[in-house]
Structure 1
């Protein structure tokens, strides 16, 4: 096995900071939790393995270059995109753009029904832009 460079390990640490929520996509290990299992990152070791406290009680680490996980929004459980929002609740937790929009609109007193209307309009505009 070839170990990742220090730069790669630091990149993994930035992408998966302690406290991040992840979902297991694929792990080729007999003791692996089932695909779809959620967990909380506890850290990244010096060889780039993501240490995880899985919701099913397992603590099997995610191996760099072998296993596949995806980050999830801690608020709604949806995919956390490459451009997450920063939660207004603590100014450090990364959340999905939709949840970030909801938090921003709630902060100025917009009710939930209108928040969903704004988010739907944003998605429609994105869809139109993609199809152009």
Structure 2
């Protein structure tokens, strides 16, 4: 196994800051949590392994270049898009666009049922735009 450069390790630390929520997509280890398990990042070590407290109690790290994880929205658990929203609650947590929209609409005073209607309409318009 080749160890990553300092630059790569630093970029991993920026991509997976402490407290980020992640989902396991691939790990070839007999002790690996099941694929799809969610966890919270504890940090990134000097060889680029992402240290995770998995929700099932495992503490196995995701090895750089071997295992695959992805960041998920800490509110709803859906995969984070390439350009996530910034939570209005603390101005630092990255969340998915739908959860960002829900926060904004809730701050506007809209009830949950109406929020879901707005989000459904946004998705419908987006789908129509993509199909053209």
Q: TM-score, normalised by structure 2?
A: 0.95
Structure 2 match to 1:55? 55
Once residues 34 and 108 of structure 2 are traced to their aligned partners in structure 1, the CA distance between those partners, rounded to angstroms, is 41
Structure 1 match to 2:13? 13
Structure 1 match to 2:106? 106
**Runs of 4+ with deviation above 3 angstroms:** none
Q: CA deviation at 1:63?
A: 0.6
Segments of 5+ residues of structure 1 without an aligned counterpart are none
Aligned residues: 132
SS at structure 2 position matched to 1:10:
helix
| Higher mean C-alpha deviation, range 116-125 or range 96-105 | 116-125
User: How do 1:74-93 residues align onto structure 2 when only pairs under 5 Å count?
Assistant: 74-93=74-93
Segments of 5+ residues of structure 2 without an aligned counterpart are none
Once residues 56 and 127 of structure 2 are traced to their aligned partners in structure 1, the CA distance between those partners, rounded to angstroms, is 37
Once residues 36 and 124 of structure 1 are traced to their aligned partners in structure 2, the CA distance between those partners, rounded to angstroms, is 27
Once residues 8 and 129 of structure 1 are traced to their aligned partners in structure 2, the CA distance between those partners, rounded to angstroms, is 37
The CA RMSD measured in Å over matched residues stands at 1.0
Q: CA deviation at 1:39?
A: 0.7
Q: CA deviation at 1:99?
A: 0.3
